[in-house]
Chains A and B, each alone.
Chain A
Amino acid sequence: MSTKQKILIVDDELWAALDMEWVVQTLGHEVVGPVATAEKAIELAGSRRPDLVLMDIRLANDSDGVAAAIEIRERFDIPSLFVSAHVDPTMRSRAAAARPLGFIEKPFSPESVAIAIVAALNSDVS
């Protein structure tokens, strides 16, 4: 997939967001956001219609990345790639409702984020 895609970054940590932004830009895609809360993520997903969301699970103001991803999937049919410090079976089963394209475990390397993004954009045929 060589066309320029829009990728929404949802992370409440500036440095992590900067790192992901750099990866997205290096891959030749456009960054949407970043935003730090579920509310802003849903708002921006609606107005900017990104192709993919990089969704941190624990967000600012105690907002929940899984719930945001589910809503974004249901309302706009935009898939997410979850980013989290712990990926356990409970989290996976809760996240399944968002039909995510994958999980990136923290701490991540820029390479692992790049690989996950490329794989996600190629796998999502919807």
Chain B
Amino acid sequence: MVAGFRSAIVGHEAQSMEPSQSPASASAVLAAAFDAIITIDDRGVVVEWNSAAEQLFGYLRSEAVGHEMATLIIPPEFREAHRVGMMNYLAKGVAPILRRVVELPALRADGLEFPIDLFITPIAIEGRQLFTGFACDATQRKAANTAVKKNEERLRLALEASGAGVWSWDQSTGAITADEAYRAMYGFTLDDTLDYASWEVRLYPDDREPLKRQVEECLSAGSQWSEEFRIIHPQRGKRWLAGLGRVFRDAEGRVSGMTGINIDITARKMAEEAARESEAQAQKTQRLLMDELNHRVKNTLVTVQAMAEQTLRKSRDSAHFVESFRGRLQALSRAHDLLMRRTWTDVDLGSLISEQLLIGGNLPVTCSGPHVQLKPREAIHLGLVLHELGTNARKHGALKVPEGRLRVTWQVTGHHLEINWAESGGPIVSPPTRQGFGTLLIERGLKDSLDGEALITFAPTGLICDMRLPLPKLGENRQAWSDPATH
């Protein structure tokens, strides 16, 4: 650009031009011009310098005329090049920057360097080759240009980052001009000719009419629209786009088309949908859990309340009631504890027996049998039955005396669990004259609650109870466990 400046100013191949005005009237025009106008001769010496030039460069006409222009307004670092270039140009006659606006650095009288826009035209007057330059301060324009460029760059980056596609629709031709991103978004190739109809075809059927209505309303109102909508991409299927459009007007102010951007928001939409679904799922799970908890609590309350009612009815006195009721309540509570520890899943029969008989101390109890998993419901009912058997053994049977023994064994036959409860070494047993409440609870517990049966034999050596109940078909959960647990 510096070389161009120099070449223009020293331009040798000037067009011949007859002066059309007298020097006086020319001076008046020059003085009134907004642009700085400087004329130099073929040696680079200033021959004309108008008042705008005085303002722009800070030299009076009298200070400029007769001096080499380069020393006045060309920054020192470019002067030598300017002079060399001038001679070069005089020899070779190349003038690449004549008769067009170029931006060049200039120097003011106070030493400030600033950019100017310069237009140079060669003039031949009375056999002399002159050059006239029209100059104006380019500082503001340049700053504005830089700002525009920066904005454009920023916009471009933003569009790239958002994956936005830009489109523009010309109402008179019906054609849509669109960039590569837009075409990729809709599944159009670079060669496809686009118009309103080709866009409309891509829209998801449910969204087509509402969106078209919006666009048409925007056109007639001369406003803008913004919407999230779906399209059918020929290869990628349903996609979510965010679109924005705004009308543009011709010189007369009439709406002549619309321009806008599209952004693919499928990923965001899918994430939102997934979040909504998982939220709904979590709420559903929580609701189910709350319902289940509510159900269990109420059922437990029914049991506890009925236990109290029925125990009270069978109690001799309040002390007897408190003892029996508390025992049953604790048996229920132990079964629940065991289930809670197993997060309400299957419970091991061996553990259930240990818990219910409180085999922790030196009780003479032997348990043996295979590993059997019980469902929560079975565990609770069997737990209560075992509690009744244990209470009876402590109060009347083998566990009442130190020599007494209890052996609990079990086996699985087909889909049935068979448990044998055998007491020995206790007080001599004689069959009761009438059925006690505990015995009723054992028999009914097996029969009514567990769909099984309990056979109680009052053998003289000790009470024997044979229990049999169906097991749910577990199969894989039931592994052999023959190690007898002695407590």
Measured CB to CB, the residues of A under 8 A from B are 12-19, 22, 33-37, 40, 58, 60-61, 85-86, 106-110
B289-348 CB contacts (< 8 Å) to partner A: 291, 294-295, 298-299, 301-303, 305-307, 309-310, 313
Which listed residue, B291, B294, B302, B472, touches A13 by the CB 8 Å rule?
A: B302
A19 and B309 contact, CB distance less than 8 A: yes
Which residue of chain A has its CB nearest to the CB of B294? A86
* A and B contact pairs by CB, cutoff 8 A, 29 listed: A13-B303, A14-B384, A14-B441, A14-B445, A15-B302, A15-B303, A15-B307, A16-B302, A16-B303, A17-B449, A18-B306, A18-B310, A18-B444, A22-B309, A22-B310, A22-B313, A33-B448, A34-B448, A36-B449, A36-B451, A58-B295, A61-B472, A85-B295, A85-B298, A85-B299, A85-B302, A86-B294, A106-B302, A107-B305
Best-surrounded residue of A12, A13, A16, A22 (most CB of chain B within 10 A): A13
* A14-B444, A17-B448, A22-B313 given; A60·B377 CB < 8 A: yes
Specify which of A13, A58, A106, A109 is in contact with B449 (CB 8 Å cutoff).
Answer: A13
What B residues does A15 contact at CB under 8 A?
Answer: 302-303, 306-307, 310
Interface size class of B (residues with CB under 8 A): 20 to 34
Given A16-B306, A19-B306: A106 touches B451 (CB 8 Å cut-off): no
Q: Which residue from B294, B313, B384, B449 sits with its C-beta under 8 Å from A60?
A: B449
The residue from A14, A85, A108, A110 contacting B448, defined by CB atoms under 8 A apart: A14
Closest residue of chain A to B449, judged by CB?
A: A14
Please determine whether B306 and A86 come into contact, CB atoms closer than 8 angstroms. no
Do the beta carbons of A35 and B448 come within 8 Å of each other? yes
In the complex the two chains form, what is the Cα distance from A30 to B448 in whole Å?
Answer: 17
B451, A37: Cβ atoms under 8 Å?
Answer: yes
Determine the distance from Cα of A40 to Cα of B381 in the docked complex, in whole angstroms.
19
> Which B residues touch A37, using CB under 8 A?
451
Cα–Cα distance between A60 and B295 once the two chains are bound (Å): 14
Other than the known A16-B302, A17-B444, A33-B448, what 15 A-B pairs have Cβ atoms closer than 8 Å? Answer: A12-B449, A13-B303, A14-B441, A14-B445, A15-B302, A15-B307, A17-B448, A19-B309, A34-B448, A36-B449, A60-B451, A86-B291, A106-B302, A107-B302, A109-B305
Within 8 A of A (CB), among B424-470: 441, 444-445, 448-451
Bound: A14/B384 CA distance, A: 10
Determine the chain A residues whose CB is within 8 A of the CB of B448 once the complex forms.
14, 17, 33-36
A109's nearest neighbour on chain B, judged by CB, is B305
Q: What's the least CB distance linking A25 to chain B, in Å?
A: 11
Contact of A12 among B305, B307, B310, B377 (CB under 8 A): B377
Task: Please report the C-alpha to C-alpha distance between residue A86 and residue B294 in the assembled complex, in whole angstroms.
Answer: 8
Q: How far is the CB of B335 from chain A (nearest CB, A)?
A: 13
Q: For the complex, what is the distance from the CA of A79 to the CA of B303, rounded to whole Å?
A: 25
How far is it, in angstroms, between the C-alpha of A34 and the C-alpha of B377 when the chains are bound?
17
Q: How far is the CB of A113 from chain B (nearest CB, A)?
A: 10
Contact of A85 among B294, B306, B381 (CB under 8 A): B294
Instruction: Point out the residues of chain A lying under 8 angstroms from B310, CB to CB.
Output: 15, 18-19, 22
Contacts of A108 in B (CB 8 A): 302
Q: In the complex the two chains form, what is the Cα distance from A13 to B298 in whole Å?
A: 12
Beta-carbon contact of A19 and B299 below 8 Å: no
For B305, the chain A residues whose CB sits under 8 A away are 19, 107, 109
Question: CA–CA, A14 to B440, complex, Å?
Answer: 11
For A61, list chain B residues within 8 Å (CB).
Answer: 451, 472
Question: Complex Cα distance A116/B256, Å?
Answer: 79
Report the Cα distance A60→B313, complex, angstroms.
27
* Residue of A14, A19, A86 most packed against chain B (CB within 10 A): A14
Chain B residues near A19: list those with CB within 8 A.
302, 305-306, 309-310
- Interface centre among B291, B298, B384, B445, by most chain A C-beta atoms within 10 angstroms, is B298
Residues of B within 8 A of A40 (CB): 451
CA gap between A17 and B298 in the complex, in Å: 15
Name A107's contact: one of B298, B313, B451 (CB within 8 Å).
B298
Q: Tell me the bound Cα distance from A107 to B309 in angstroms.
A: 13
Residues of chain B lying within 8 A (CB to CB) of residue A109: 305
Residues of chain B contacted by A33 (CB below 8 angstroms): 448
Q: Are A106 and B441 in contact (CB under 8 A)?
A: no
A92 to nearest B CB, angstroms?
15
Q: Could you say which residues of chain B place their CB within 8 Å of the CB of A60?
A: 377, 449, 451
CB distance from A76 to the nearest CB of B (A): 22
Q: Which residues of B contact A36 (CB under 8 A)?
A: 448-451
Task: Out of B301, B307, B313, B472, name the residue touching A106 (CB < 8 Å).
Answer: B301
Q: How far is the CB of B301 from chain A (nearest CB, A)?
A: 4
Nearest-neighbour CB distance to chain A for B427, whole angstroms, equals: 29
Residues of B near A106 (CB, < 8 A) are 298-299, 301-302
User: What is the minimal beta-carbon distance from A69 to any residue of chain B, in angstroms?
Assistant: 18
Q: Which residue of B lies closest to A16 (CB)?
A: B302
Question: Which residues of A have CB within 8 Å of B377?
Answer: 12, 60
B309 contacts which chain A residues (CB < 8 A)?
Answer: 19, 22, 110
Instruction: Give 8 nearest A-B pairs by CB, closest first.
Output: A85-B298, A19-B306, A15-B306, A107-B301, A14-B449, A107-B302, A85-B295, A15-B303
Cα of A85 to Cα of B302 in the assembled complex, Å:
9
